[in-house]
Amino acid sequence: MIDFVTGLVGNLALGMSVALSVKNVALCFLGCLIGTLVGVLPGVGPIATITMLLPITFGIDPIGALIMLAGIYYGAQYGGSTTAILVNIPGEATAVVTTLDGHQMAKQGRAGVALGIAAIGSFIAGCVATVIIAALATPLTAMALLFGPADYFSLMVLGLMFAVVLARGSVPKAVAIILVGILLSTVGTDLESGEERLTFGWTEIADGLDVAVIAMGMFGFAEILRNLEMTQTRDVVHAAIGNLLPGRKDFRQAAAPIARGTFLGSLLGLLPGNGAVLGPFASYTLEKKLAADPSRFGRGAIEGVAGPESANNAGAQTAFIPLLTLGIPPNAVMALMVGAMTIHGIVPGPQIMTKQPHLFWGMIASMWLGNLMLLIINLPLIGLWVRFLKVPYRLMFPAIVLLCCIGIYSVNNSPTDVVMTAGFGLFGYALIKFGFEPAPLLLAFVLGRLMEEKLRQALVISRGSFWTFVERPLSAGLLLLSLVLVIIAILPAIRQSREQVFAEAD
Amino acid sequence: MMSREAGSRGLVKSPLDVGGGLFLVALAAIGFAGGFNLPTGTLSGIGSGLLPKSVAVLVAAFGVLLIVQGLIFEGDRLEKWHLRGPVFVLGAVLLFAILIRGSTLNFGGILGIPLLASVKVPGLGLIVAGPLAVVVSSLAEKSTRLGEIAIFAIIMTILCGILFKELLNLPIPFDPMGLVPAPVNHAYVGAKSAIFHAFTDIKNLFAR
């Protein structure tokens, strides 16, 4: 135990020594600032933000680039909450809950308090989650080394099943969209035989489709197309922002929800397959159940902002664990991070920690730093965000289109990528129109390649016997769990309650 | 949003599901066609075609499932498709892609169709492609005011030029390539370098 603690402290100290260099602090600050700036724009979620800003990290060394990207990610997350509170438009699924009470508080002239408690709750959650990541990293990485190809494959199956259970709408559609993602992942040259697959002789895609292209098309452009059709009334809060620092009474009310939200969010964020999205919902439901007067919820209860925001941030943070230790992204944002890391020459997985400890611990230490930055940036700059939000959408979306074009062109300096992004914009638009949720596709796309590789390896090792997936205890357990999840997803009773959870948010 | 209406609607009970199912079947068909000639291999040595083909079959199966489901159970209507948004937004993106570095557009020339026409588009750089992308995409929204968006487009492009070219040194082309008559180009390059000199001076001022 003592060994473990000293090891942890030593690792964090190493991380801090990397993260606290003047350059890396500046990059972290810049990342958080720009991430918030773009994330605040209504209808621009973390995925679009990261893709759009990916090129600005080029030309920075890998450690600095990763620290900056992580900063952009937190910034985008927090920017989404700001928009949720001030404009009642959630940037992404996890911010939906924040609109319920956060926007009500804003209407009552307590926007400042709502934003303040969201920032403070997120900061506390971030601190705790960082320690959890640091503590779990070593044992999980050790465990990852025990994983054979068959176990990896089954783990990814489990992750995708989680994504099915947690997706909105019909189960067959969720499964189908994941299969489409896997199908897209097979486009390009086959790694073993060198044959071109599904390219139709088009040399531009011989290297496979780029995750950034798909992300930008489906989450940047398709999202704009959808927003243009929604005759949404953007009621930017006209009431005064009010005092930023919550009062003593607010703190007393919010303290326990922050603690519970942090716990729930950290735990759920660890799950493969976008468990993080459940955190805010679970926290909101829990706080409502525990409250002495549940009718306050939906009318500006501070617990309804503090709990879910803490859960959101904790989950956003612990979602890094499966990526950094196992190399398996748990959700669409992390899938994009895989792409971003690959551009910088880093292959996520257990070998990062052993081979590049500076990078690994530096990034973890920078997570804590990033949370501190958010607190420092956001509270004084709220006035600026409000003014930003008042820019009409008719000016905002052409600017977003231009930034997306420049961003995607710069990833590979390729006009063809820009054309393909437009294609995926149309594809994403069609998916939305047919009632498919696009996020699981991105996750399945990134996992698809890994899954095929592991499947082939496993079958080579077992000399072509599929029983290897059931004979290995770890793999068998994971597959059994996946099966349970499928049954849960299909059972009518649970389907209904699943719809209720999401319906409450709508 | 979507309206769920009671009562019979003829053969198709849920247009949304049937439409989604047909879409999946179409995707699967493309996928299967693309992997048709690839070897499936054996279980101990999986060929490159196994996964694409089997996943395509599964996608088609779910497509059929959705179609059947949509024929039996009541469900949502299809949402209305709009042309204006996709045409102008994605059109602007394509325009940007074509103009930024210049390209040769071939019409026809794939899948057995002979080459019908070939147009060479000069590279116009961000300074032309940028404002065009902003203005064209803005037409997707009814409330756009042309004067306002024109000024906004120029400001945005200059800001992007400063950010991406000057500060981040990304290799995105900014100036038109060999298209402008020499005197105009001279004046333009002169003006631009003057602006950038002033800018660098300001930057150096802060750097000290």
Output the six-digit token pair for A286: 């829990």
The residue range of the domain holding B195 is: 178-208
Same-domain status, B111 and B136: yes
Whole-number Å distance between alpha carbons of A425 and A428:
5
What range does the domain containing A238 cover?
2-142+152-505
Question: What is the complex's ipTM, to 2 decimals?
Answer: 0.85
| 3-class state of residue B125 by DSSP | coil
What is the rounded distance in angstroms from the CA atom of residue A498 to the CA atom of residue A267?
Answer: 19
Examine residue A147 and state whether it is found in any structural domain, yes or no.
Answer: no
Main-chain phi, psi angles of B114, to 5 degrees: -70, 160
For residue A78, which of A43, A111, A46, A55 has the smallest C-alpha distance?
A46
Does B67 map to a domain? yes
Residue-wise pLDDT for A170-206, tens only, equals: 888 999 999 999 999 999 888 778 888 888 877 778 8
Q: State the Cα–Cα distance between residues A40 and A444, nearest whole angstrom.
A: 27
* Beta bridge partner(s), residue B117: B107
Q: What is the pLDDT of residue B1?
A: 39
- Nearest CA to CA, how far is A446 from chain B (Å)? 15
Is residue A450 over pLDDT 50? yes
Of A249 and A166, which is predicted with more confidence? A249
- Residue written as token pair 């897209």: A184
Instruction: Tell me if A78 sits within 8 A of A36, measured CB to CB.
Output: yes
Length of chain B: 208
Q: What pLDDT, on a 0 to 100 scale, did the predictor assign at position A483? A: 92
Residues 265-324 of A with CB under 8 A from B: none
3-state helix, strand, coil in chain B (%, to 5): 60, 5, 35
Q: What H or E segment, with its residue span, contains residue A495?
A: helix A492-505
Task: Tell me which residue has tokens 């997707």.
Answer: B140
Shared domain for B44 and B95, answered yes or no, is: no
Q: Which amino acid is at A250?
A: D
Could you say which of A198, A393, A425 has the minimum Cβ distance to residue B35? A198
Please tell me the predicted confidence (pLDDT) of residue A506. 44
Average pLDDT rounded to a whole number, residues A415-431: 94
Return mean pLDDT, chain A: 86
Which residue in B has a C-alpha nearest to residue A226's C-alpha? B85
Pair B114, B44 in one domain: no
For the ranges A137-146, A351-360, A402-411, A486-495, which has the lowest average pLDDT?
Answer: A486-495
Q: Compute CA A191 distance to the chain's CA centroid, rounded to the nearest angstrom.
A: 29
Separation between Cα atoms, residue A138 and residue A12, nearest integer Å: 12
A contacts of B129 (beta carbons < 8 Å): 405
Q: In this predicted model, what pLDDT tens digit does every residue of A272-305 receive, in sequence order? A: 777 777 888 889 989 988 888 888 888 889 999 9
Q: Are residues B89 and B137 in the same domain?
A: yes
Domain boundary among B40, B72, B104: B72
Ordered DSSP codes for A455-469: HHHHHHHTTS-TTHH
Counting the structural domains of chain A, the total is 1
Beta bridge partners of B46: B41
d(CA A266, CA A312): 9
* Residues B144/B129, Cβ–Cβ less than 8 Å: no
* Structure tokens belonging to residue A209: 């489709």
Q: What percent of chain B has pLDDT over 70?
A: 87
User: Do B100 and B51 share a domain, yes or no?
Assistant: no
8 Å CB contact between B103 and B61 = no
Backbone angles phi, psi at A263, to 5 degrees: -60, -50
Lowest pLDDT segment from A350-354, A377-381, A404-408: A377-381
Number of H helices, E strands in chain B: 6, 2
Whole-angstrom distance, CA of residue A416 vs CA of residue B128:
18
Do B136 and B207 share a domain, yes or no?
A: no
8 A C-beta contact, residue B34 and residue A200:
yes
Please tell me if residue A175 touches chain B, with a CB cutoff of 8 Å. yes
Radius of gyration of chain B from Cα atoms?
Answer: 26
User: Is B127 in the same domain as B105?
Assistant: yes
Model confidence pLDDT, tens digit, residues A217-232:
998 899 889 888 876 5
Domains of chain B: total = 3
Gap between the Cα atoms of A319 and A125, Å rounded: 13
What pLDDT is stored for residue B202 in this prediction?
78
Q: What is the mean pLDDT of residues A483-491?
A: 83
Rounded CA-CA distance A454/B41 in Å is 16
Residues B57 and B102 in one domain: no
Chain A and chain B share a number of CB contacts under 8 A equal to 206
Contact B13, B73 (CB under 8 A): yes
Considering the domain architecture, whether residues B185 and B114 belong to the same structural domain is answered as no
> Does B180 have pLDDT greater than 70?
no
The pLDDT assigned to B3 comes to 44
User: What residues in A contact B158, CB-CB < 8 Å?
Assistant: none
Tell me what pLDDT residue A156 has: 92
Asked if residue B207 has pLDDT above 70, the reply is no
Per the CB < 8 A criterion, the answer to whether A42 and A95 are in contact is: no
pLDDT digits (tens, 9 = 90+) for A84-93: 888 887 767 7
**B34/A197 Cβ within 8 A:** yes
Only one residue has tokens 């895989």, namely A338
A161 vs B205 pLDDT, higher one: A161
What's the pLDDT at B113? 64
Rounded distance, CA B192 to CA B31, Å? 49
- Per-residue pLDDT, A492: 66
In the prediction, which pLDDT does A214 show?
Answer: 93
Q: How far is A464 from chain B (nearest CA, A)?
A: 4
pLDDT score recorded for residue B114: 67
Looking at B47, B72, B97, the residue that finishes a domain is B72
How far apart CA B174 and CA B101 sit, in angstroms, is: 9
B168 located within any domain: yes
Please name the residues in contact with A495: beta carbons below 8 A apart, sequence gap of 6 or more. A171, A489
How high is the pLDDT of residue B181? Answer: 64
Do B169 and B106 lie in one domain? The reply is: yes
Nearest Cα to Cα of residue A481 among A178, A155, A170: A155
Write a three-state SS string for A281-344. Answer: HHHHHHHHHHCCCHHHCCCCCCHHHHHHHHHHHHHHHHCHHHHHHHCCCCCHHHHHHHHHHHHC
Taking only the tens place, the pLDDT of each residue in B25-65 is 999 999 998 888 888 887 777 788 888 899 999 999 999 99
A402 inside 8 A of chain B by CB: yes
A interface mutation test: which of B74, B84, B93 has the most A CBs within 10 A?
B93
Strand ranges for A382-471 from DSSP E: none
Chain B nearest CA to A186, separation (Å)? 6
Judge if B132 and B170 occupy the same domain: yes
Is residue B64 a part of any domain in this protein? yes
- Convert the pLDDT of each residue in A15-38 to its tens digit: 888 888 899 999 999 999 999 888
Report the sign of the C-alpha dihedral through residues A319, A275, A348, A425, in that order: negative
Give the minimum alpha-carbon distance from A161 to chain B in angstroms, rounded to a whole number: 16
Phi/psi for A212 (5° steps) reads -65, -40
Cβ atoms of B46 and A462 closer than 8 Å: no
Number of H helices, E strands in chain A: 23, 2
Look at residue A278 in the predicted model and tell me its pLDDT: 83
For β-strands B103-108 and A188-189, DSSP reports them as: unpaired
The pLDDT value recorded for residue B6 is 45
Nearest CB neighbour to B48, from listed A176, A190, A393? A190
Secondary structure of A106-134 in HEC code, one letter for each residue: HHHHHHHHHHHHHHHHHHHHHHHHHHHHH
Owner of token pair 């602007």: B92
Residues in A touching B96 (Cβ below 8 Å): 402, 405, 409, 418
| Adjacent-strand bridge partners of B124 | none
Q: Which of A197, A408, A421, A447 to mutate to test the interface with B (most CBs of B within 10 A)?
A: A197
| B1 to chain A: closest CA residue | A230
Domain contains B79: no
The answer to whether residues B62 and B130 belong to one domain is no
C-alpha separations of B190 from A219, A380, A401, B124, B166 in Å: 40, 41, 30, 18, 16
What is the band of B206 on the pLDDT scale with cuts at 50, 70, 90?
Answer: low
The secondary element (H helix, E strand) that includes residue B116 is: strand B115-121
Cross-chain Cβ contact A422/B93 below 8 Å: yes
DSSP SS3 for B38:
coil
Q: What is the DSSP letter of B46?
A: B
A111 min Cα distance to partner chain B (Å): 29
Return mean pLDDT, chain B.
Answer: 83
Exposure string for B56-90, b = 16+ CB within 10 A, e = fewer: bebbbbbbebbbebbeeeebbebbeeeeebbebbb
Whether the CB-CB separation of A359 and A62 falls below 8 Å is answered with: yes
Asked whether residue A454 is assigned to any structural domain, the reply reads yes
Residues of chain B contacting residue A435, judged by C-beta atoms under 8 Å apart: 16-17, 20, 76
**Identity (one letter) of the amino acid at A96?**
V
Per residue in B67-124, pLDDT (tens digit) is: 998 998 888 888 888 889 999 999 999 999 999 988 777 766 665 566 777 778 888 8
Q: Is the pLDDT of residue B13 over 60?
A: yes
Give the three-class secondary structure for B121. strand
Nearest 10 degrees: Cα torsion A160, A162, A165, A166: -100
Give contacts of A459 with chain B, Cβ < 8 Å: 43-44, 46
pLDDT of residue A386: 80
- DSSP three-state, residue B103: strand
3-state class (DSSP) for residue A188? strand
Other CB atoms closer than 10 Å to residue B2's CB: what's the count? Answer: 10
With residues binned 3-state (H G I as helix, E B as strand, rest as coil), the percentages for chain A, rounded to 5, are: 80, 0, 20
A334 CA: distance to closest CA in chain B (Å): 24
CB contact (8 A) between residue B137 and residue A397: yes
Q: Is B32 exposed, middle or buried (0-12, 13-18, 19+ CB in 10 A)?
A: buried
pLDDT surpasses 90 at B182: no
